[in-house]
Amino acid sequence: MRFPTMLKFTFCAMFAIVLCPGVVRASGTPASGQRLGPVNPRAGVSLGELSSAYALGNTLALTENGALLAQADDQPAGAEGDVLGLEPKSPRRAFLKSLLIPGWGQWYTGNRWKPFLYLGLEAAGWLSWSNFRSKGDDLETEYQAFADSPEAGWTYDRYENALNIVYDISVDTMKYTVFVDGVPQDRVFSHHIYPDTEGHISKNQTYYENIGKYDQFAFGWVDFPDILEPGDTTGVNFVTPNRQAYLKKRDNANREFNKASTVLILTIGNHLLSAFEAAWSAKRYNRSIDRFGSVDTDLRLTQSEATGKLMTQFALRYHF
C-alpha cells in the first residue's frame, strides 16, 4: 500500500523540523555552531546545569541569536517556583507590607525606585503636617492671649452691661423684645456666652470663635464705645480695630491648621496608594512570568524554492 504524499511529508517532518528565524531546534545534543546559554540572566544557570539538575530528557540548544524553545515539564518533588527561578508574588502580602510601611510592598515585587518614592513622600508629608500644626498652635496661643489681655481684649463684664442696657436682659439665653413697625416681637440670640453656676466663663474654642465672628459680642471689646442707653448703638461700627486685629490673627492660625489638614489627607492618600499599587504590581509581575515560557506552535504546508516540492513546516516559538 502506498501512503499519500501528504502523509509521507508529515512523517518526514517529525525527523526534520524547519524552524522560523529566532527559533531554535530541539535535539539530544547541541548542533554544530550552537552553544548552551543561560535560560534567564537572573537565574544565573545554563541549560546544561538545568539538564543535570532536573534530568531533562532533551537538552535545548541555543543558536547565537536563538531563543529558548521549551523547558522541563517535571521538577524534583517539593521544588518551588519553576526552573527559571521565577516565583509568583502574593498581592495580599504586597498590599499588607505597603500598608504597614509605604514602599515595602513595591520592594517585595522587585521594584527598586518606587519604595524610595513612596517612603520619601510619606516622611515629607508627616514632617510638613507637624510643621504646620506647630505654627498653628503658636498663632492660636497668640490670638487667645490678645483676646484675654485687659488692655486690648474682650471682657464678659462689658458684654453683660450692654445686654442689660440695650436688650434689658442679664444673659444672652433670655428672650428680648424688638419693635418692627411699632409692633413688639420676641427674639433670642443664636449664640451664647454665659458663666456657669460658679460664675466662670468657659474659654473654649467656641468662646474664641464667637467673640470675633458675631456682631452680637462686639460690645465686649474694650475699644467698643461705652453704652449708656439703648440709642447709643445707632450708627456705631461694630468691627472695632481690636476686633479686626483679633480676626486677622485667628485667620492666620486657621490657615496653618488647614494646611496641616490638607497635608494629612495627602499623606494618608499616598499611604493607601502605595498599598493598592503594590498589590497591582504583584499581579502584573505574576502575569509577566505567566507569559515567560509560553510556547506557540504553527504547522503549515510550504513549497520548497529549490525543488518546488511541498514540505511540512513546523514553527515553534518560545516567548520570554
Three-state secondary structure of 99-131: HHCCCHHHHHCCCCCHHHHHHHHHHHHHHHHHH
DSSP H helical ranges for 149-291 = 156-162, 205-213, 241-291
Residues 137 and 187 in one domain: yes
Cα–Cα distances (Å) from 285 to 106, 238, 278, 291, in that order, read: 11, 67, 10, 10
Residues 98 and 79 in one domain: no
pLDDT in tens, 257-273: 999 999 999 999 999 99
Residues 68 and 123 in one domain: no
Residues 277 and 309 in one domain: no
pLDDT in tens, 217-253: 999 999 999 888 876 777 788 999 999 999 999 999 9
Out of 57-61, 78-82, 185-189, 308-312, pick the least confident. Answer: 57-61
The cell 520570554 sits on which residue? Answer: 320
Residues 67 and 173 in one domain: no
Residues 150 and 248 in one domain: yes
Q: Rounded CA gap, 15 and 218, in Å?
A: 103
Q: How confident is the model at residue 16 (pLDDT cuts 50, 70, 90)?
A: very low
Q: How many CB atoms lie within 10 A of CB 90?
A: 17
Residues 261 and 167 in one domain: yes
Residues 50 and 15 in one domain: yes
Residues 121 and 158 in one domain: yes
Grid coordinates representing 5 are 504524499
Q: Which domain holds residue 109?
A: 89-290
Residues 128 and 167 in one domain: yes
Q: What is the CA radius of gyration of the chain?
A: 42
What is the three-class DSSP state of 316? strand
Residues 229 and 146 in one domain: yes
Q: How many domains does the chain have?
A: 2
Q: What single-letter DSSP state applies at residue 214?
A: -
Residues 164 and 127 in one domain: yes
Q: Rounded CA gap, 193 and 175, in Å?
A: 14
Cα torsion angle, 124, 127, 133, 138, sign = negative
